[in-house]
Amino acid sequence: MAGNGRETPGLKVEIAETEGVRTQVRVGEVVFGAEALAVIAGPCAMESEEQYLEAAVAVAQAGGRCLRAAAFKPRTSPYSFQGLEREGLRLARMARQVTGLPVVTEVLDTRLVEEVAEAVDCLQIGARNMQNYELLKEVALSGRPVLLKRGLSATIEEWLLAAEYLFAGGNDQVILCERGIRTFETATRNTLDLNAVPVLRERTHLPVIVDPSHGTGRRSLVVPMARAAVAAGADGLIVEVHPDPDRALSDGFQSLSPQGFRDLMQAIEPVARAVGRSL
């Protein structure tokens, strides 16, 4: 039997299964997969109460619909800042209360799924954990909607099979997120694979959003690629916003300032309309 899982007919995530009906996923009051685009924003990492609340308020004021609350950080080096962890969950709750926006948080460890699920509105599976099947199984049981990022070198087939783990575990509230793949090109941090957006719209009934921050790795590329994502048919975006990007503890070079985020929201609005969507 092949180990690569290809040629698996009849997946629950496939649009054939729903006879063409698209799934809408509700995170708090926000609907992913509706006519209106859903934009998630927030800093790459929570760093302090002050930093996080400032970012959260800026996101809310500029029209962001959902907060990114990165309490736990999977860092390539053990010596890099690892996040505020549980303290971050407290800040996530506080930010939700202050802004009224729902909160998305990445979860890294099967043992913490329940605790994180209680604190936030949506669980994120990061790129590095897309094939961490034990985590997928546990998150499936959490009852929370899930934002499933594409793995760094995952094929679309493998990505859909990771989503299928959530469905197989009884959770059909799944949002897919294209965040760039690893290629030979070094001019950008990753290669944003926007082809994936229409490919997924043909094959799956799940909403698809795009992360132009990780997908490019450079602040100046975020607006044009956010526009491109919307034009390609994405149902929303996830963007890194930091009150003071140049002092960010991680990924500052790809984070927008609050003003930059306001500019982005203005820049995508006419493109959304041009393709029959709204903000």
219-238 residues near its own copies, rule: CB under 8 A: 220-221, 224-225, 227-233
- Please choose, out of 22-30, 56-64, 89-97, 182-190, the segment that lies near its own copies by the rule CB under 8 A: 182-190
- The Cα 66–Cα 109 span in angstroms is 23
Q: Read off the tokens for 164.
A: 């299928």
How many Cα neighbours within 13 Å face the side chain of 65? Answer: 19
Maximum pairwise Cα distance, the chain: 54
Eight-class DSSP state of 247: G
78 binds its own copies (CB under 8 A): yes
- Binding of residue 185 to its own copies (CB under 8 A): yes
Collapsed DSSP state (helix, strand, coil) of residue 25: strand
Residue (120 or 181) nearer to its own copies, CB:
181
Smaller CB distance to its own copies: residue 86 or 182? Answer: 182
Site membership for its own copies, residue 16 (CB under 8 A): no
Q: Which of residues 82-111 bind its own copies (CB under 8 A)?
A: 108-111
153 binds its own copies (CB under 8 A): yes
The nearest distance, CB 60 to its own copies, in angstroms, is 25
Told to check if 81 binds its own copies by CB under 8 A, we report yes
Choose the stretch contacting its own copies; rule: CB under 8 A; options: 24-32, 84-92, 258-266, 268-276: 268-276
Residue 244 token pair: 């003071």
76 contacts its own copies (rule: CB under 8 A)? yes
By the rule CB under 8 A, 116 interacts with its own copies: no
**Least Cβ distance, residue 84 to its own copies (angstroms):** 15
Contact residue for its own copies among 168, 244, 257, 263 (CB under 8 A): 168
Angle at 206 (CA atoms; ends 24, 25), nearest 5 degrees: 25
Among 93, 131, 141, 244, binds its own copies (CB under 8 A): 131
**Residues 128-136: contacts with CB within 8 Å, 24+ apart?**
128/74, 128/152, 129/74, 130/154, 130/158, 130/159, 130/162, 131/158, 131/162, 133/162, 133/165, 134/110, 135/107, 135/108, 135/109, 135/110, 136/162, 136/165, 136/166, 136/169
Binding segment for its own copies (CB under 8 A), chosen from 24-32, 57-65, 86-94, 153-161, is 153-161
Residues 20-59 that bind its own copies (CB under 8 A): 44
114 is an interface residue for its own copies by CB under 8 A: no
> How far apart are alpha carbons 15 and 202 in whole angstroms?
7
